[in-house]
Homo-oligomer: A and B are copies of this chain.
Amino acid sequence: MNFKYSDKIRDMKPSAIREIFKSLGTPGAISFAAGNPAPESFPVDAIADISADIFRNSANAALQYSVTEGYPKLRTLVSERLRERFSVGADFDSTIITSGGQQGIELACKVLCNEGDTVIAENPSFIGALNAFRSLGANIVGVELEDDGISVTALEEALKSNPRTKLLYLIPTFHNPAGITMSLEKRRAVYALAQKYDIVIIEDNPYGELRFAGEKIPTIKSMDTDGRVIYCGSFSKILSAGMRVGFLCAHGDLVSKIVVAKQVEDVHTNIFFQMICAEYITRYDLDAHIANIRALYKHKATVMLDALDREMPDCVKFTRPEGGLFLWCTLPDSIDPTTFINRAKEALVFVVPGVAFNCDETAGSHSFRLNYSMPSDDEINRGVRILAEIIKDML
């Protein structure tokens, strides 16, 4: 039969990144395309030990249906941690466990946006969030990203010209894909604009724990006196990405609607791994574990930045992340980005083309995203050299 798809889904395509991910099997391939945490960041032995204990002591609870809000002990631990580390969580706030940070973003949009409502996002932005907004029929408006975060002037212009704006989606810390961090001044200005135009902010902070340079900057949620910031986080980059355990902290009224919306998506998040997260936080030193991950990524980012400094011609610009998994390279105008990406692919070096992160899918991009958490030092050095050689050849 001829399927008549919903308008919102009909023209959607699978994420370019997930598709690249599938074609990485070729021997000798070097991938800077992943968004994956380093496998060294998984505390395998501890998780295995906790698992064995859960099967011994609480198997029935771990394998049975549970409540949509999440495992109570984990909700409490996450709330405490958010308050202590990030000053996140006022008296009016509540925390729900989600199936990865991704689900939190999608649910936030679902409970607030009608089809045709506007979501403003940094341009470029995280493809998973943009596609979530598209899948709900939202209208996405991109606002230029500067070195210290979203352009506040352009943001106000966008708010003025889009009266149906409901949401502002931001990754203020170690931005994906751009690798930059929003300044404190801009965070304050952005929150003030959200107040002025009475909109809700989604602060997506999956990488917030992974700072390896520079000074910590307060989250936007920590400034939230009105309850207008929805804070999304995740265990993906600090314990395991494959377990799909994230969390969302927002005003209790909003969370109660998000619970209803989550219930019809997956009833609740895998309860066994919620218990594992809770036990890990209780019995192990999560901060020490995160310190190791930070050191690892600091090393890998340094290797990549050194290689870029060494190999790339001056006309190639790149960001210098203070944390997270990514940096963002921009080619000179004279180089056709599609030809470059294809030549890199032929040389078995995979990067994600900037177009994948565009709010406007029809716009072009001279940028590409590089990931340093997955490749080895040697792969980083070889891969960057290959990319630089292709660029030099194209100049």
Bound CA span A102–B72, Å: 22
The contact of A227 among B1, B115, B254, by CB within 8 Å, is B1
Q: Which residues of B sit under 8 angstroms from A219, Cβ to Cβ?
A: none
Which chain B residues lie closer than 8 Å to A265 at the CB level? 99, 102-103, 106, 132, 265-266
Given contacts A35-B65, A259-B14, A264-B135, contact A9 B242 (CB under 8 A): no
Establish whether residues A103 and B18, one from each chain, have CB atoms under 8 Å apart when the complex forms.
no
Is A111's CB within 8 Å of the partner chain B? yes
Looking at A12, A64, A103, A253, the one whose CB has the most chain B CB atoms below 10 A away is A64
Please name all residues of chain B whose beta carbon is closer than 8 Å to the beta carbon of A226 when the two chains form the complex. 1
Q: Which residues of the partner chain B approach A1 to less than 8 Å between Cβ atoms?
A: 198, 200, 226-228, 251
B102 and A18 form a contact (CB under 8 A): no
A39 to B254, CA, bound (A): 34
| B260–A135 touching, CB < 8 Å | yes
Q: Does B271 lie within 8 Å of A166, measured CB to CB?
A: no
Pairwise interchain contact A242-B63, C-beta atoms closer than 8 A: yes
For chain A, the bracket of interface size reads 35 or more
Tell me if A31 is interfacial: C-beta within 8 Å of chain B: no
Chain B residues with CB below 8 A from A227, complex form = 1
Considering the chains assembled together, what is the distance between the CA atoms of A52 and B62 in angstroms? 16
Contact (Cβ within 8 A) A243 B272: yes
Q: Tell me whether A22 is interfacial, beta carbon within 8 Å.
A: yes
Q: Which residues of B contact A241 (CB under 8 A)?
A: 63-65
A99-B265, A103-B265 in contact; A3/B253 too (CB < 8 A)?
Answer: yes
Is A59 interfacial (CB-CB < 8 Å)?
Answer: yes
By a CB distance below 8 angstroms, the chain B residues around A118 are none
Give the complex CA separation of A143 and B146 in angstroms: 56
A244 to B268, CA, bound (A): 8
Q: CA separation between A4 and B51, bound complex, in Å?
A: 42
Are A242 and B271 in contact (CB-based, < 8 A)?
A: yes
**Interface pairs A-B: 10 shortest CB-CB:** A48-B55, A63-B240, A132-B264, A99-B266, A242-B271, A44-B59, A39-B60, A42-B63, A270-B270, A65-B241
Beyond known contacts A3-B200, A6-B110, A244-B268: 9 more, CB 8 A cutoff: A5-B111, A51-B52, A62-B242, A63-B243, A65-B242, A100-B267, A128-B264, A242-B270, A270-B273
**Chain A positions near chain B (C-beta within 8 angstroms):** 1, 3-9, 12-15, 18, 21-22, 34-37, 39, 42, 44, 47-48, 51-52, 55-56, 59-68, 99-100, 102-103, 106, 110-115, 117, 128, 131-132, 134-135, 166, 198, 200, 226-228, 236, 240-244, 251, 253-254, 256-257, 259-261, 263-273
